[in-house]
Amino acid sequence: MQVELQQVNKLFQKDNGQSLQVLENINLTIKRGEFLSLIGPSGCGKSTILHIIAGLEFPTEGKLLVNGQQVKGPGPDRIVVFQESGLFPWMNVLENVMYGLLLKKMKRKEAEEKAMDALRMVHLGRFSKAFPHELSGGMKQRVAIARALVMDPDILLMDEPFAALDEQTRMVLHYELQEIWQKTKKTIIFITHNIREAVMLSQRIALMGTRPGILKKEFLVEAAFPRNPSDNVLVHLERRILASLEQEMEKVLKEEMGDDYRLQKGAHVGDPLYHLGSDI
Ligand SMILES: Nc1ncnc2c1ncn2[C@@H]1O[C@H](COP(=O)(O)OP(=O)(O)O)[C@@H](O)[C@H]1O
Ligand SMILES: [Mg+2]
C-alpha cells in the first residue's frame, strides 16, 4: 500500500478552549497508481484528511504511512492542487510552471523543456507566454495541474480542484484528468462534494459521514476508462451514493435546524426525505 491511514483521530482546539473532534478512527489504504475520491458533506473533514496525507497537519492519534514510512511533514512526493489555482500574477504561464524546478536549482533550459512538456499535457502549450489574468478559470486550473505534474510527485492530492468551474469546463477537465492519470500512472486522491464527478473519475469512492468525520462506505466504480457519462453503471452508482449521502445530510440538517427541521419536513410532504423520520 502506498498510503495508509491507521486509526487516525484528529481534534482541533477551538477558541473557547474546547476541542472539536473532526476525524474519528479513519482507516484508509490507497494503492500505488490508484484513483480514489473522497466525498462527503461540507465540513466532514475531507480537506483535513488530505492535509494529513500532504503532511500539512498531523493526526492527534493514529498514523499516516507513505510507502511504509511514517510521514514527518510535506515532501516532493506529495503535491496538492487546490480549488484556487494560486498562480503568481506577475509571472507568465511558463514561469509559473518552471518556478518549483528553478527552486530545486534545475538549469533554466532543462526546466523550460520540462515545463513545456507539462503544459502540453494539459493542452496549454500555446499559452506559455500568457499571464494568469488572460486565462479562463479552467485554463488557470490546468496551469495549476501542470505546475504540480512538472515536479513529478508520486501522489497528486486534489482538493475540489474543479469546484469553481462551470459545468462544461468541468467536463472537459474530467477528460483531461483521466488522460493525465492514465499517461502518468500517478496515484490520485481527489476530493469533491460532487457525486457525478467522483463517479466519472475514480476507481474507488470513499464516502464520509460527518460530526465527527468517519469513513462510512466504499464504492468500487467498475467501468472502463475513458468514462462515458451516460454509462448505466455510473448512473446507477450515482443514485446509490446519493441515497447514502441523503441520510448524512438529514443528520446535519436536524442538528443545525433543531425543531425547525421537523416543521420544514411537515410543510413539504413531497420531499423525498419526508418519510424517513420516525416521529413525524
Ligand atoms: N485549523 C483548524 N482549526 C479548527 N478547526 C478546523 C481547522 N481546520 C478545519 N477545522 C474544522 O474541521 C471541520 C472539517 O473541516 P474540513 O476538513 O475543511 O472539511 P471539508 O473539507 O470536508 O469541508 C470543520 O468543522 C472545520 O471548521
Ligand atoms: Mg474542504
Tally of domains within the chain? 2
Q: Do 144 and 164 reside in the same domain of the chain?
A: no
Q: What is the pLDDT of residues 181-194, one digit of tens each?
A: 999 999 999 999 89
The answer on pLDDT for 272 being more than 70 is no
Domain with 176 in it: 3-77+154-228
Give the per-residue pLDDT at 270.
47
Q: What is the DSSP letter of 223?
A: -
Residues 70 and 170 reside in one and the same domain: yes
246 within domain boundaries = no
**Together in a domain, 93 and 133:** yes
Average pLDDT value over all residues in the chain:
91
The span from the first CA to the last CA of the chain, in angstroms, equals 47
Establish if 61 belongs to a structural domain: yes
Q: Kindly report, residue by residue over 47-93, the tens digit of the pLDDT.
A: 999 999 999 999 999 999 999 999 999 999 999 999 999 999 999 99
SS3 (DSSP) at 3: strand
Residues 197 and 59 in one domain: yes
**Distance of alpha carbon 186 from the chain centroid:** 14
Looking at the fold, whether 53 and 99 belong to one and the same domain comes out as no
Statement to judge: residues 158 and 70 lie in one domain = yes
Predicted confidence at residue 274, as pLDDT, reads 39
Distance from the CA of 43 to the center of ligand 2, in angstroms? 7
Residues 179 and 212 reside in one and the same domain = yes
**Euclidean distance between CA atoms 21 and 257, whole angstroms:** 21
Q: Is residue 237 part of a domain?
A: no
Q: How far is the CA of 50 from the centre of ligand 2 (A)?
A: 9
Q: Are residues 171 and 51 in the same domain?
A: yes
pLDDT at 142: 96
Phi, psi of 232 (to 5 degrees): -60, -35
46 lines ligand 1 (CB under 6 A): yes
Give the CATH number for residue 219: 3.40.50.300
Last residue of a domain, one of 105, 122, 152: 152
Sign, Cα dihedral of 187, 190, 195, 197 = negative
Pairing status of strand 78-81 against strand 69-70 = unpaired
Question: Are both 18 and 40 inside the same structural domain?
Answer: yes
In a domain, 239, yes or no: no
Q: Is 221 in the pocket of ligand 1 (CB under 6 A)?
A: no
Name the domain boundary from 152, 172, 196.
152
